[in-house]
């Protein structure tokens, strides 16, 4: 078994420290893995900082113009070699050791996708009330539009069997905020089994969500619905 971990990076603070921590956490339960760090057009010095981590299992790729986390994930998938693929945010809100529990749950349930969820009853998370309200509103909209039995689509920690993404990634069009719902809705339509898992999340958001970002996410989500339900484009 080989695990490929895609880590999208955009102006991430303490990235060298975070990558070293991820390696230490992964080393505790898996021997064969690679980490693909995708520089999404960062304007800070985080690319130079990331290159200071000399672990041979880390590959740094990317491009000059910022295009969004969804685009970074899709770009990073071009370089994966593993039988399993994880998405892991670069900001160290999550301990990579959680993926051990994701693997155990995948084996136990026969799931094809394990999604970290803030709303799992065993999750231990804290984040501000405004973000809770926005998150719940967005997930309610997703439940209505996509009939997707997932209570939280947006957590930046997910585990996939490679075969799922091989079929899904060529169809992905969303480059920014709604890429999660696009991936999961296509996978759900194809009949793949999705299970939510508990997480522990350390709140590290450094800025407020801008109105144009919320609007962009809303528009992208409606576009996914239109392609999925009206155009049947994903078929």
SS (H, E, C) the chain: CCEEEEEEECCCCCHHHHHHHHHHHHHCCCCCEEEEEEEECCCCCHHHHHCCCCCCCEEEEEECCCCCHHHHHHHHHCCCCCCEEEEECCCCCCCCCHHHHHHHHHHHHCCCEEEEECCCCCCEECCCHHHHHHHHHHHHHHHHHHCCCCCCCCCCEEEEEHHHHHHHHHHCCCCCCCHHHHHHHHHHHCCCCEEEEECEECCCCCCCCCHHHHHHHHHHHHHHHHHHHHCCCCC
Give me the mean pLDDT over the 126-138 stretch: 77
Res. 207: pLDDT tops 60 = no
pTM of the model: 0.92
Q: Which domain holds residue 176?
A: 3-230
Tens-place pLDDT, residues 10-19: 999 999 999 9
Please report whether residue 201 resides in a domain: yes
Q: Given this model, what pLDDT does residue 15 score?
A: 97
Res. 208: pLDDT tops 70 = no
Tens-place pLDDT, residues 163-195: 999 999 999 999 887 899 999 999 999 999 999
Residue 130 sits in a domain of what CATH number? 3.90.550.10
Please report whether residue 27 resides in a domain: yes
Give me the mean pLDDT over the 91-102 stretch: 95
Please report whether residue 235 resides in a domain: no
Q: How many domains does the chain have?
A: 1
Please report whether residue 86 resides in a domain: yes
Tens-place pLDDT, residues 97-110: 999 999 999 999 99
Please report whether residue 217 resides in a domain: yes
């Amino acid at each position: 078994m080989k695990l490929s971990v895609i880590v999208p990076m955009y102006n991430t603070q303490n990235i060298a420290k975070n990558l070293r921590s991820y390696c230490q956490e992964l080393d505790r339960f898996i021997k064969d893995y690679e980490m693909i760090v995708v520089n999404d057009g960062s304007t800070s010095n985080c690319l130079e900082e990331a290159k200071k981590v000399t672990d041979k299992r880390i590959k740094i790729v990317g491009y000059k113009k910022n295009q969004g986390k969804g685009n970074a994930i899709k770009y990073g998938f071009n370089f994966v070699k593993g039988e399993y693929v994880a998405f892991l945010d670069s900001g160290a809100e999550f301990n990579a050791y959680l993926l051990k529990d994701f693997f155990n749950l995948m084996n136990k349930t026969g799931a094809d996708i394990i999604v970290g969820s803030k709303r799992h009853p065993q999750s231990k998370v804290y984040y501000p009330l405004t973000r809770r309200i926005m998150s719940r509103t967005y997930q309610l909209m997703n439940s209505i539009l996509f009939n997707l039995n997932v209570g939280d689509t947006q957590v930046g920690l997910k585990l996939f069997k490679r075969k799922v993404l091989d079929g899904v990634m060529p169809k992905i069009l969303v480059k920014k905020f709604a890429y999660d719902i696009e991936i999961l809705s296509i996978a759900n339509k194809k009949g793949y089994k999705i299970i939510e898992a508990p997480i522990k999340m350390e709140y590290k958001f450094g800025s407020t969500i801008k109105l144009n970002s919320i609007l962009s996410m809303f528009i992208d989500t409606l576009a996914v619905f239109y392609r999925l339900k009206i155009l049947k484009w994903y078929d």
